[in-house]
């Protein structure tokens, strides 16, 4: 059965595959060539080899799992519905559903306006014709109704409205897309992770894209889609032509 130091040696060896350094980091006293020789002897032992093989298998599983997690997150960001984070809506106007397409109040607004009307008319001359409170378009206004196509006031287009939902109750997909809020002098800015960049990275992860470099600059200047039907010797040329069509200057 492997000792604690031998187990530590295996763990250290899996980090950088440097036997001598792993031997010293594991706490053994030998250094230099002596450590290298001792590490070689350990690495020839069947039990140590089995431990390294098992460790490499677990490492591969962890890497694959992490790659899948990253790919799933990128796909979620790229396909999440941004309407869960912020919405620009067209809602009914005050006239859409009023009687005779007149201005429509809510029930509370009607009571408030009626009370104010009574105050304003309580000292009216008793001999004058009795004033009648203007009910306008009646009560029942609800801003979330769809615009009325026949409305002569908004012509069926309604009124614009920006709505930011409570981010505490987002779906898992929207929560992944969500990157916080920023309070500005003009209001609240909802921040999101870049969906197009996430989609490109997901495509690169699947091998759908390849990068083409402009040698006048450092780094990739674009991503081109290359199908399997194109011959290998044509792929570079096609990729460059795609980038030139997009406005990039590429050296041949």
Closest by alpha carbon to 94, among 5, 161, 168?
161
Question: Using one digit for the tens of pLDDT, what is the confidence trace for 5-28?
Answer: 888 888 888 888 898 999 999 999
The structure's pTM equals 0.53
Give me the domains of the chain, ranges plus CATH numbers: 4-79 (1.10.10.1400), 87-163 (no CATH), 208-245 (no CATH)
Which residue is it, tokens 């990068």?
A: 211
Q: How far is CA 181 from CA 82, 101, 177, 184, in A?
A: 14, 39, 12, 10
Task: State residue 122 phi and psi, 5-degree precision.
Answer: -70, -20
Closest by alpha carbon to 16, among 50, 48, 59, 64?
59
Classified as helix, coil or strand, 222 is strand
The neighbour count for residue 157, using CB atoms within 10 Å, is 12
CA angle 103, 107, 113 (to 5 degrees): 65
Question: Using one digit for the tens of pLDDT, what is the confidence trace for 178-228?
Answer: 999 898 888 889 999 988 787 777 777 666 655 544 445 444 444 445 455
């Amino acid at each position: 059965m492997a000792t604690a130091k031998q187990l530590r040696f295996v763990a250290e060896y899996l980090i950088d595959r440097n036997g001598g350094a792993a031997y010293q980091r594991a706490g053994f006293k030998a250094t230099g060539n002596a450590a290298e020789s001792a590490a070689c002897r350990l690495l020839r032992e069947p039990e140590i080899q089995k431990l390294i093989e098992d460790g490499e298998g677990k490492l591969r599983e962890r890497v694959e799992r992490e790659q899948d997690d990253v790919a799933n997150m990128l796909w979620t960001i790229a396909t999440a519905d941004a309407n869960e984070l912020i919405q620009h809506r067209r809602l009914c106007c005050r006239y859409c559903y009023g009687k005779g397409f007149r201005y429509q109040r809510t029930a509370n607004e009607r009571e408030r306006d009626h009370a104010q009307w009574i105050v304003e008319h309580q000292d009216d001359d008793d001999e004058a014709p009795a004033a009648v409170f203007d009910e306008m378009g009646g009560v029942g206004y609800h801003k979330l109704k769809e615009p009325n196509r026949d409305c002569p006031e908004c012509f069926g287009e309604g009124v614009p409205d920006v709505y930011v939902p409570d981010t505490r109750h987002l779906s898992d997909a929207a929560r992944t897309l969500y990157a916080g809020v920023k309070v500005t002098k003009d209001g609240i800015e909802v921040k999101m992770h870049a969906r197009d960049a996430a989609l490109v990275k997901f495509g690169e992860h699947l091998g759908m894209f390849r990068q083409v470099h402009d040698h006048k600059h450092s780094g990739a200047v674009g991503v081109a889609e290359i199908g399997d039907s194109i011959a290998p010797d044509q792929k570079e040329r096609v990729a460059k032509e795609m980038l030139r069509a997009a406005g990039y200057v590429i050296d041949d």
